[in-house]
Amino acid sequence: MKIVISSGKGGVGKSMLSSALSMLFGNEGIVAVDCDVDAPNLRVWLNEIGKPDKIIPVTTSARPVIDHKKCTKCGKCVNTCQFSALSLSKKVKLNPFLCEGCGACEVICPAGAIKLKPVQNGRIEVRKTKYSFPLISGQLFPGETGSGKVVTEVKKEAEKFKHNLMIIDSSPGTGCPVIASIQGVDFAILVTEPTPSGFTDLKRTLKVINHFKIPFGLVLNKWDINKPLSKKIEKWAGKRFLGRISYDKEVFKSIAKLKPIMESDLKAKEEIEKIKERVEKIIIGK
């Protein structure tokens, strides 16, 4: 069974919920996966900030290498690049921070002076947590591209661990890393907050979830900051509503002290325990 925790807007409590559910399901043979490769933070919520047990290089991107001896300075590669990554003055130059590794320059070069070469664009970190389940996280290197491909490699690594349940912490939005995160999952837990941007972005993510025909449930975080909108969202969710979590400044203080929510005495702990029970009832049949 694979569960993805996703959201449209960032900062709605997705990683908080992912960490808490990982701890609650920990005795049932799980693997926790942080697929927010642009800003992985699940290890912080679990207080697993030490050195990883294993680091695996990821090479899923490529970058053009220019042979200036062959280059005729015709400028076709510069005119073809849709990302303005190439420029021509005395010689053709590459801006690696703009290059997407699409390979158009290699194809268009009449002199065969450009060849794509693989580059390491990220890494995977493997940790054996103090809660007895493994945590697999990915990190896209700054300035590199291919976040979706890195997510795919992270999930492949997670599959190597024996598990009954995989809990996937997705990145916000609807882009490539989100699509890679939800690929092949059995159930999606969507997290939102009662703000106009939170609700609107949730609907955008839901379009992706529905496209892949993935069953889902909704969790409403910080519900009491806007009770009228919370009521509207709950009504909109209907039978798919899994529960709500109250706004509490102590949650931020807890994570600042690297104290996981499920090791605290906060109200959010009890609320997430109830959500876990509903998730079990819906997807596991307990």
The pLDDT tens digits for 173-222 are 999 999 999 999 999 999 999 999 999 999 999 999 999 999 999 999 99
What domain range is 139 assigned to? 2-59+121-284
d(CA 257, CA 82): 46
- Spatial neighbors of 251 by CB under 8 A, at least 6 apart, are 16, 261, 266, 268
User: Tell me, what's the pLDDT at 58?
Assistant: 97
Residue 128 shares a structural domain with residue 248: yes
* Domain stops at, among 119, 141, 163: 119
Average pLDDT over residues 137-163: 94
Mean pLDDT of the chain: 94
pLDDT of residue 228 exceeding 80:
yes
Q: Report the predicted TM-score, pTM, of the whole model to 2 decimal places.
A: 0.91
Residue 93 shares a structural domain with residue 180: no
pLDDT band at 12 (very low <50, low <70, confident <90, very high): very high
Take residue 33 and report the two structure tokens written for it: 């996966």
pLDDT of residue 29 exceeding 60:
yes
β-pairing, 187-192 vs 30-34, is unpaired
Residue from 179, 169, 94 nearest 135 by CA: 169
Residue from 38, 34, 51 nearest 142 by CA: 38
* Domain stops at, among 71, 103, 119: 119
pLDDT of residue 143 exceeding 90:
no
Residue 105 shares a structural domain with residue 128: no
The H or E element that residue 80 is part of is helix 76-80
User: Tell me, what's the pLDDT at 285?
Assistant: 64
What is the arrangement of strands in the sheet containing 54-58, beginning at the earlier edge strand?
54-58, 122-128, 134-140, 30-34, 165-169, 2-6, 187-192, 216-221, 241-245
Residue 73 shares a structural domain with residue 49: no
Residue 168 shares a structural domain with residue 154: yes
d(CA 15, CA 232): 24
pLDDT of residue 283 exceeding 90:
no
Do residues 207 and 23 touch, judged by C-beta distance below 8 A? no
Residue 101 shares a structural domain with residue 207: no
Go through 85-116 and write b for each residue having 16 or more CB atoms within 10 A of its CB, e for each that does not.
bbeeeeebebeeeebebbebbbeebeeebbeb
Residue 156 shares a structural domain with residue 228: yes
d(CA 102, CA 57): 21
> What's the domain count of the chain?
2
Q: Assign residue 132 the CATH number of its domain.
A: 3.40.50.300
The pLDDT tens digits for 53-96 are 999 999 999 999 999 999 999 999 999 999 999 999 999 999 99
Residue 98 shares a structural domain with residue 184: no
Residue 131 shares a structural domain with residue 223: yes
Take residue 68 and report the two structure tokens written for it: 């200036």
Residue type, 281: K
Residue 21 shares a structural domain with residue 157: yes
Strand partners, 136: 33, 126
Residue 279 shares a structural domain with residue 176: yes
Q: What would the DSSP string read from start to end of 24-74?
A: HTGGGTEEEEE--TTS--HHHHTT--S--SEEEEE--EEEEEE-TTT----
The pLDDT tens digits for 33-42 are 999 999 999 9
* Domain stops at, among 69, 90, 119: 119
Residue 47 shares a structural domain with residue 144: yes
d(CA 23, CA 135): 11
pLDDT band at 281 (very low <50, low <70, confident <90, very high): confident
Q: Assign residue 100 the CATH number of its domain.
A: 3.30.70.20
